[in-house]
Amino acid sequence: MTLIVGRISAGKVYIFGDTKLTFQHKQNANPFVEGCLKQYIVNDQLAIAFAGVKEHFEDVCSDFLKCCNAQEIVDIAIKTQKHGLDYELMIADAKYDKLRFVKEACIEKSAAGYIGDSDAFNSFQGYFHSAQGESFPEPEIGRAYFQVLQLPEPVDSEKTYLKLFQSLKSVIWDKNIPSVGGVIVPLCTHKGIFRYMGYADVISDPINISDITEEPTPIEFGTAEHGGYSVEFWDDTPNGGAGMEVGFYFLQGGFGISFPKGIREVRNATIVKAENPAYWVLETRKLLGHGISSGYLSEDHCIRAGEKLLKAEQYEYALFCYELRKDSKSLIERPAVYDRYMAGYATAMFNCGKKADAVNLLQPIVNDSKNNPYCCTMLAKMRDLDVM
């Protein structure tokens, strides 16, 4: 089934859900690659979430997303549930102090509640109200685990967001609760409007106590051989999007899961192959119109993607990858990498017809220092091609 929990606290709305699906014929589905988005932004002040049979929700999803207020959504939900559609709905209004829950054609209003599996919610409540709600759960003894969370603003001093997040993660990791799975999707009011909140989870390879010495040694994070992994969830706002497109990227796996809008508005999980984070941003841009951001992205990823795309004569895509990190502080602080990066960036510009821009980019770099062999060589080639 699934579990979607909602809570209103200190004037902010929090909605957390997993990605596991229930199909009409009750077969088990992979919660990662066969799941779907269950929380939807209707507009800046209105959001919904569903649990139950996806095909039934699909029949009414587009009607919900056309609504202007919560009451319109409630009316549609009650009517369609009375006609036999098997789903539950949570409705959140940023300007209202209660959540609305429509189950079995009846409406309830509360500042906190759930839709989905009741047993899973009871376990969630246990985690939330215990000390574990304030600490990080352990995915497996003997591994290191760390996490980066984007917190909805204004930041809650009572750590409500963190407790909700970690409590649902504990439910997902609980092997006794098979109805909940996949990854967490947080949808909250952020600065007064509904937004998906990004995060990154990293779990290390097993750590052997015998390998720990007095001298500091690096911890191996995420290798296929030993089961460590890194996963992140972000949206498209850093790349010019409206925040409606979201996805998960699995760094070690070289792929991600995005949720493009379907014909009937439901967003089903779609695998996106991306050998590194630069390709992830590029491929989601091609699929969705704006690339989904990656917190793992570095200039090294952009160089590798850019050079491979230049070799394949895919100059516009190469240019896009180079532009992702061209202004990063860390790039400027690495002179040898900066030289190679800017030479590749200019090459992509030149081959996209921006010849003057490419020359104007390289000339100051060459004039400023004689320790830029890649840029010097590329500038000379560009001038030779212009003469020819």
Q: What is the mean pLDDT of residues 226-237?
A: 82
pLDDT above 50 (res 8): yes
Q: Decide if 145 is inside a domain.
A: no
pLDDT in tens, 164-193: 999 998 998 888 888 888 889 999 999 999
State the chain's maximal CA–CA distance in angstroms. Answer: 77
The CATH number that applies at residue 9 is 3.60.20.10
**3 and 102 share one domain:** yes
Q: Decide if 286 is inside a domain.
A: yes
Mean pLDDT is highest, among 18-32, 61-75, 195-209, for 61-75
Structural domains in the chain (count)? 3
**162 and 18 share one domain:** yes
pLDDT above 90 (res 305): yes
Whether the Cβ atoms of residue 175 and residue 24 lie closer than 8 Å to each other: no
**204 and 248 share one domain:** yes
Q: How far apart are CA 113 and CA 90, in angstroms?
A: 9
**Cis peptide leading into 178, omega within 30 of 0?**
no
Q: Decide if 240 is inside a domain.
A: yes
Q: CB-based contacts of 193: which residues, under 8 Å, 6+ apart?
A: 44, 45, 94
**367 and 307 share one domain:** yes
Per-residue pLDDT band at 24 (split at 50, 70, 90): very low
**35 and 172 share one domain:** yes
Shortest CA distance to 345 belongs to which of 320, 308, 311?
320
**71 and 7 share one domain:** yes
**103 and 212 share one domain:** no
Q: Residue 375: which domain range?
A: 299-387
What angle is formed at CA 364 by the lines to CA 359 and CA 367, rounded to 5 degrees? 115
Per-residue pLDDT band at 118 (split at 50, 70, 90): very high
Q: Is 145 exposed, middle or buried (0-12, 13-18, 19+ CB in 10 A)?
A: middle
Q: Decide if 149 is inside a domain.
A: no
**366 and 377 share one domain:** yes
Q: Decide if 147 is inside a domain.
A: no
| Chosen domain end from 245, 264, 297 | 297
**16 and 165 share one domain:** yes
Q: How far apart are CA 330 and CA 338, in angstroms?
A: 9
Beginning with the edge strand found earlier in the chain, give each strand of the sheet holding 39-43 in spatial order. Answer: 39-43, 46-52, 87-93, 99-103, 106-110
**309 and 247 share one domain:** no
Residue 29's pLDDT is: 57
> DSSP strand E in 261-365: where?
270-273
Residue 206's pLDDT is: 64
pLDDT in tens, 232-249: 999 999 999 999 999 999
pLDDT in tens, 260-302: 999 899 999 999 999 999 999 999 999 999 999 999 999 999 9
Q: What is the mean pLDDT of residues 21-30?
A: 53
